[in-house]
A and B are shown apart, each in its own frame.
Chain A
Amino acid sequence: MSWIDIGHLNDIPVRGSRVVKTPVGCVAIVRSSETEAYAIGNTCPHKQGPLSEGIVHGKKITCPLHNAVFSLETGEGTDGHQIPTFPLKIEGGRLLLDGASVGKRSAA
C-alpha cells in the first residue's frame, strides 16, 4: 500500500462527504461519525448520481438522485448494485488514502 495524505478529517463535516480526484475517477471520502471515515467510488451505478452529495446515516449513504442506499464498508447497494471501496486510514486526524488502489504508481 502507498498511503497518500489527502487532508484532515475535520475538513469534512460529520455525516458529510467530499471528493478526491484520482486517476480512476472521483472517490468520495465519507465521514460517518466524529472519528470514522470511508473511501468509496463517487458514482452511483444506477444513473451516475454523485454519492458524495447523499445523506450519510450509520455506515450507509443514500444516492441523492434516486435514493439507492450503499454500505460504506462493503460498497454493496440496494437492488444488487455495487460500488468500489478503497483503503483509507486516519492517523492523528490525517486522512490517508491508498494510492495504489486508485491507480497511482508507487513512488518508490
Chain B
Amino acid sequence: MAQKLIVIGAGMASGRMLEHLFEQGGDWDVTLFNAEPRGTYNRIMLSPVLSGEKTYEQIETHNAQWYDDQGVTTRFGEKVVAIDRAAKTVTAENGDVLPYDKLVIATGSNPFIIPLPGHDLEGVIAYRDLEDTYRMMELGKTEGSSAVVIGGGLLGLEAAAGLHAQGVDTTVVHIMGHLMERQLDESAGYLLRKELVGRGIKVLCATNSKQILGENGKVTGLELDNGTVLPCDLLVMAVGIRPNVALAKEAGLATGRAIHVDATMQTSDPDILALGECVELDGMLFGLVAPIYDQAKVAAKTLVGEAAGYVHRDVSTKLKVTGCDLFSAGDFAEGEDREDIVFRDPARGVYKRIVLKDNKILGAVMYGDTADGNWFFGMMKDGTDVSDIRDTLIFGPAFQGGASGDPLAAVAALPDDAEICGCNGICKSTIVNAVKNGAHTLADVRATTKASASCGTCTGLVEQVMAVTLGDDFVIPAAQSICGCSDHTHEDIRRLIKAKALKSEAAVWQELGWKTANGCHVCRPAVNYYLLADWPLEYQDNLQSRFVNERRHANIQKDGTYSVVPRMWGGMTTPDELRAIADASEKYGAKLHVTGGQRIDLLGVKKEDLTAIWDDLNAAGMVSGHAYSKGLRTVKTCVGKEFCRFGTQDSSGLGIQLEKKLWGSWTPHKVKLGVSGCPRNCAEATCKDIGVVCVDSGYQIGVAGAAGMDVKETERLIDAKTEAEAIEWIAAFMQLYRENAKYLDRPYKWVAKVGLDWVKDTLSNAEERAALNERFEISQSVYRKDPWADHVKNHSEQYQPLADITLEAAE
C-alpha cells in the first residue's frame, strides 16, 4: 500500500526533494501544501525577474503540471494550521484533517520586519516572494516614483538594483559602515558602493532609521536618526530572514533558532523530517541554495530508508546584479596566523584578496574581475596546498603551470601586450623597447613612454619590467613610503587624495593600493588628517584613526590618567574661571600646573571622570584648550599697550582675536602662536610657529620658528599695517600649511622643504590669500566648536567601562 507523505511548503527545498524521491521510485501518496498560490520557483532568481531580465515562467522549476504528472495532490494557496503527532494527522486551513505516515516540514522562513514606528503602513513590504516582486515592478510603471530599501545586504542590493532598473528613484539605507559586510571586506564594499552610486542609486551607510512616515495609512517616507526625511512611495525591508518554525513549535518538536534536525534531516519525531531554511543542524542555519539542495537529497534518501547524512560544505556568494562583479567565499577575516595576498588595480576597479592559513586557501573576496573565483573556491574546498604557486597565486590559473617562485618571474611571464600602466594604456613591450633603446632610469621610462607618469600606482610594476629587461644592471630604488602598508610617500598620498577626489579611508586604501586591509597606527592618523583637511564637509573625522589624546581630547599620562587643559583665550583669565578650575581640582583630585603656553593644567584626572570635569568647566564658560592636538594649541601674549608702558599695540587683544579665529582647526602637527606688544618680545613670539611682534608702524609677522628639539628664530613673512591684515595673512598661512605639509612636519620643517620664497610668493597673491581664507573658514564651520561639550553630550558612554563584573563575584 502507498505510504502517505504530506509535505508542508513547496519551496526550492521540497521541490528538489520530491524530484529525488520520485527518481528513487517507491509507492508514495503525496499531498503538497503551499501557502503561496503556485508551485515551485527558483526564489533566488526573483532579482532578474524584478530587473526585467527574466519572466516568472523562466524561473519556475516545478509547476502544477509537473506535480500533476507525478501524481502529487497539490493544495496551493492553502496553509496547514496544526499537526497532531499522536494521531499522525495535519489540519488544513479549511478544517480538513489528513493522515500521514511521513511528514516533511519545509516552511522556509519569513522576512524580518524591523518594528519601526509605521512598519505596518500600506506600502511597507519585504522582498521575499513573487507578490513583493510584482509590487516593486508595478511601482516602476508610475513616472517619478521613489523607493527606499532598508538593508544593504545581498537581498537589499538586488532589490535596489531591480527597482532602479525599473526606473524608480532608489535609496539604500544600511546600518553598517559598508555594504554586504558579511560577505565583503571594506575595500570590496567600497568598490560595490562606487558602482551602485555611479549608476544613480543613492547609498547611505552607517545610517539608522528612526521611523516610517505615512499619510492616510500609506507610507510617504523614512525618517532617519539624524532627522533627514527620505520621501518614498514604497519602502522595502530587506534586513534578514527568520526561520518559520511556529507550526513545528506548536506541534512540540524540538526547536532552537529553528527546527532541530539530525544529519538525516529527521526532527525529534522519527516520522517527521524538516529541511531548508526552517531547520537548525549543529547550531547552523541555512539560507543559500547549495546546502539546501544537499539536504533535499539526504531527506529523499532518509524517506526511503536509505542511509544518508548531510555534510556541511563551504559555499560561495555572488551578487546577482548585472555589471557588479563580485565573489566571496569562505573566511576572509584577517588573523595573526593568516596571510593575506592582495591585488588591486585601481584603474580597472579590480580588487582581489586571498586569505591563506598554513599554505591553504581559507577565503577569497573579489570585485571587478571574478573570473578566477571558482578556481580559488575549488582549491579552498579541496584544501590544496598552494606553497608552490603562492607567489603567483593571485594572478589566477592562467599564470600557473610550474612557474618558479621568483616574483619577477610573474612579470617576466607577462605577454608583450599586457597592460602595465592603466592610465596611459602602456603595455609591457612598449616599456621593454624603451629600455632597450636606452631608457635606463624610471624617469627616462616615464619621459619616453608616459608609463607610471600619471597616477603612479604602477611604478612598482614598471620597475619590475625594467629589472627583468636590464637584469642586474637595474636596482629598484627604495622610496621613503608612508609605512609598510603602502609604497606611496606622504607627498604622493596628499597629491592623489586631491587629484583622485578620494573622500574616505576605504577609498584611499583601495585606489592607492594599500597592502593591508585597513592600515596601521602609522598611516591611519596621517590619512585621516589628509582627508579631513582636504574634504572638511564630505569626510567624517574617524576617532578610531586618531591617537588616544586626540580621540579622548585630553593628554594621557604615564599612569593612564589624563591631563585636562581648558582654553584661556590669549592667556587671559577671570576670577570665575580660576574658581571653577580650583573647584574642579579639588573635586577630581587633580594637581595643578601652569604651562609654558599660559594655561593651567589639571593633572591626574581618571578617564571615567573626563566628561564630568569637562561638564563642570563648560558650565563656567570654558572650552577645550586642545593641549593634546595636532592643531592650534595656544596664542601666548603679553599685556600690550593697555597696561605696559612700552606696549605699542593691543597685543593681548590681537592674540584673543587670532585664537578665536584659529581654535579647533586640525593641522599636520601642533601650531603655537605668540603675540608680543613690543620688540622686547615678552611673549617669546620669535620662536613660535607663527609669531607677531607689534611695532609702532604695525605688526611684524614671522613664521617657521621652533623651540623644541630644534631651536630656531622665525623668518619674516610680512609686515602688516592693521590687525585685520595680520589676521588675514596668518589664516592664509595656516591653510597653506594645512593643505600642503606632510603629517607630523611642524611649520619650520615644511617651510624648509618648500622654501620661504614659495610661501611668500603664494601668499602675496591677494586672490590666493582670499581663497585660502575662504577654504579655512569652510573647514572651521565644521571644526570650530568645543569637542568637550560634544563628547559630554554624544559620546559620554565611551568614557565608561562597558561592564563591571567584579562586584557580583564577591557575592
Contacts and interface: CB of A to CB of B under 8 A. Distances in A.
Interface string A67-108: 101011110100000000000000000010101001111000
Contacts of B518: 15, 57-58
B436 interface: no
B521 interface: yes
Interface in A4-63: 4, 6-7, 11-16, 18-23, 26, 29, 32-36, 47-50, 53-60, 62
Residue of A33, A60, A105 contacting most chain B CB atoms (<10 Å): A33
A22 to B, nearest CB: 5
Contact of B805 (A22, A57, A69, A74): A22
B556 A53 contact: yes
A29 B806 contact: no
Interface of B: 176-178, 181-182, 185, 333-337, 516-521, 524-525, 543-548, 551-552, 556, 558-560, 607, 797-798, 801-806, 808-809
Nearest to B797: A11
Contacts of A11: 797, 802
Contacts of B543: 13, 16
A49 B176 CA distance: 31
5 contacts: A18-B801, A21-B804, A53-B548, A55-B547, A74-B336
B108 to A, nearest CB: 21
B182 to A, nearest CB: 7
Contacts of B333: 33, 36, 59
Contacts of B560: 48-50
A13 B802 contact: no
B153 to A, nearest CB: 12
A49 B525 CA distance: 19
A79 B10 CA distance: 61
B334 A59 contact: yes
B177 A34 contact: yes
For B185, B337, B521, B559, which residue has the most chain A Cβ atoms within 10 angstroms?
B521
Nearest to A31: B544
A15 B544 contact: yes
Interface range on chain A (Cβ under 8 Å from partner): 35 or more
Given A54-B521, A58-B517, A76-B336, 11 more contacts: A14-B544, A15-B518, A16-B544, A18-B802, A21-B804, A36-B333, A47-B558, A53-B556, A57-B521, A64-B548, A74-B336
B804 to A, nearest CB: 4
Contacts of B801: 18-21, 26
A55 B384 CA distance: 36
A14 B518 CA distance: 12
B544 A73 contact: no
Nearest to B552: A53
A60 B591 CA distance: 35
Given A18-B798, A19-B801, A21-B803, A65 B521 contact: no
A34 B180 CA distance: 11
Given A58-B334, A62-B520, A103-B809, A7 B802 contact: yes
Contacts of B802: 6-7, 11-12, 18-20, 29, 95
A71 B546 CA distance: 19
Contact of A21 (B185, B556, B558, B806): B806
A13 B556 CA distance: 20
B335 to A, nearest CB: 5
Nearest to B809: A23
A20 B545 contact: no
A59 B335 contact: yes
Given A21-B806, A102-B805, A73 B335 contact: yes
B552 A56 contact: no
A57 B544 CA distance: 10
Contact of B177 (A14, A47, A105): A14
Contacts of A18: 798, 801-802
Given A20-B801, A53-B551, A73-B335, A34 B544 contact: no
A7 B804 CA distance: 11
B806 A73 contact: no
Nearest to B562: A53
Nearest to A4: B805
Nearest to A6: B803
Nearest to A74: B336
